[in-house]
A and B are shown apart, each in its own frame.
Chain A
């Protein structure tokens, strides 16, 4: 790819416009109800300009930064799976006929440009690619292959961020068409723009951008490295897959289960969670029906229901299923971790259950460990 370019806020506006001109529906961060959500945008004015998100376990607040940063926050509760596997997607419609019934394809989806995608978000889409693309579900593939991604590197991680532990950020490395790095220092406010694909380069070439000076590139890179060193949290991934698969019978799950409300928030906000269910609906007169796919969660009782009752009836078993799938069996199934370190599940858990802390607690209480530090009876007597 060609060398990095520099654009200003007008250049970012021009980028959005160029994407709209190419027929994309540009979706990116906007402020809705004091939360940053993804929605259709048409200019930088739609972005959460000058805002920062304060995140902690069970806490999310937006506050003024006191500057004009376009990307001075990290991720809100939504991810782009909202567009790639929209809840409520009609798979097909069925009509009763003389011969029984026939099914009709659903309408073609729009072309999306994912704007302001954080590196963890880009990594999440690549993880979902491994889930959906091999099976051609008729929804994801069409949306994903026609999409365009404008990534934004992170320079100010939140307290809940731990992408550096998973190697998914704070710099985007693959899976983007254009990557932006916002630099705000005193009077200087510019964006380093780099193409990741031919089409990304083509779009950039339409903008009035100038090549970046070396010191601009170095400065931008330094901000991202700084972010990497200032993650709010860490997840020790060393032997984590084996740790969890060996600890299914650990009593810790019941303890976490006693705190967990099984509200499903963590699975709804997780950018890689893909579990779904289908609803079959029928017109009142029985003449037509449709199958609708909605998001589902391993935290519900219905999720594992087989005749007679649910397989995972206790909250602890459901939490165990979620975290072991995310951090352990995902490797078996798809060859990678299912976690990108975005921290959403921590922020949006109403009781502040923290995946990094729980994984560390399992490590601490690994049932494979030899009891250490506990003196034997003989030692005490001697």
Chain B
């Protein structure tokens, strides 16, 4: 437990949060490992968690008929996997496929939500961090959509 706290309090993602706030978050987390080839979650499934990736690579995939799984984005050490636990109806939008053996801290979604509801200051700190993730991914996807490297004729 205290090991997990020590890890999180030093982590850039939680930088700026008070020790007490980090402790509340740490209470909802536990270390989980995934092997290459595993699926962490699947599109449409119940979104009840998020993961801080400590090592390894995870691909967010969409299944397209006739083309198999298409990789939308990959996530790597230091990044957060999963935001759908925050918003009803709590369903995953992608498949999370493990590209290489991955070490994570898995945080329990419902418990995090309850903690945030109970302490709006903590809730706001979490919201700022997850909104940043959403903004970054939206910006990236906008650029990807432009297909800037294609050959215009």
Closest chain-B Cβ to A36's Cβ sits at a distance in Å of: 46
**Which 5 A-B pairs rank lowest in CB-CB distance, beginning with the nearest?**
A308-B152, A307-B152, A309-B152, A307-B153, A307-B151
- Interfacial chain A residues near B151, Cβ < 8 Å: 307
Interface of chain A residues 271 through 318 with chain B (CB within 8 A): 307-309
Q: Which residues of B contact A309 (CB under 8 A)?
A: 152
Q: Please tell me the size bucket of the interface on B.
A: under 10
Q: Give the complex CA separation of A309 and B153 in angstroms.
A: 9
CB pairs A–B below 8 angstroms (5 shown): A307-B151, A307-B152, A307-B153, A308-B152, A309-B152
* Interface of chain A, main secondary structure: loop
Q: State in angstroms the CA–CA spacing of A308 and B147 once bound together.
A: 12
| Least CB distance, A307 to chain B, in whole angstroms | 6
| Contact residues in B for A308 (Cβ distance below 8 Å) | 152
Interface residues on A, range: under 10
Which residues of A are found within 8 Å of B153, using beta-carbon distances?
307
Query: What chain A residues lie within 8 Å of B152 (beta carbons)?
Result: 307-309
Annotate A177-206 by CB proximity to B: 1 below 8 A, 0 otherwise: 000000000000000000000000000000
Cα A309 to Cα B151 with chains together (Å):
12
CA distance A3 to B57 in the complex (A): 89
Give min CB distance, A311 to chain B, whole Å.
13
Residues 135-153 of chain B: 1 if any A CB is under 8 Å from the residue's CB, otherwise 0? 0000000000000000111
Q: In the complex, which residues of chain B have a beta carbon less than 8 angstroms from the beta carbon of A307?
A: 151-153
Closest to B152 in A: A308
Report the bound CA distance from A309 to B152 in whole Å.
8
1/0 contact trace for B102-131 toward A, CB 8 Å? 000000000000000000000000000000
**Chain B positions 70-125 with a Cβ under 8 Å from a chain A Cβ:** none
Q: How far is the CB of A304 from chain B (nearest CB, A)?
A: 15
Alpha-carbon gap, A307 to B152, bound state (A): 6
Q: How far is the CB of B153 from chain A (nearest CB, A)?
A: 8
Residues facing B in A303-357 (CB within 8 A) are: 307-309
The complex places the Cα of A308 from the Cα of B151 at a distance, in Å, of: 8
Give Cα A161 to B139, complex, Å. 52
Provide the bound-state CA to CA distance between A307 and B151, in Å.
8
Cα distance A307–B153 in the bound complex, in angstroms: 7
State in angstroms the CA–CA spacing of A277 and B152 once bound together.
23
Smallest Cβ-Cβ distance to A307: which chain B residue: B152
A48 to chain B, nearest CB (A): 51
A154 to B: closest C-beta gap in Å: 51
Cα(A166)–Cα(B8), bound, Å: 67
A312 to chain B, nearest CB (A): 17
> How far does the Cβ of B39 sit from chain A's closest Cβ, in whole Å?
39
B106 → A minimal CB distance (Å): 45
Distance in angstroms from B129 CB to nearest chain A CB is: 33
Taking the closest CB of chain A, its distance from the CB of B145, in whole angstroms, is 16
Distance in Å from the Cβ of B120 to the closest Cβ of chain A?
33
Q: Which residue of B is nearest A306, CB measured?
A: B152
CB distance from A72 to the nearest CB of B (A): 55
Nearest residue (CB) in A for B148 is A308
Complex-state Cα separation, A308 to B148, whole angstroms: 10
Of chain A, the residue at the smallest CB distance from B153 is A307
In chain B, positions 33-78 with a C-beta closer than 8 Å to chain A are none
Question: Min CB distance, A371 to chain B, in Å?
Answer: 32
Minimum CB–CB distance for B105 against chain A, Å: 45
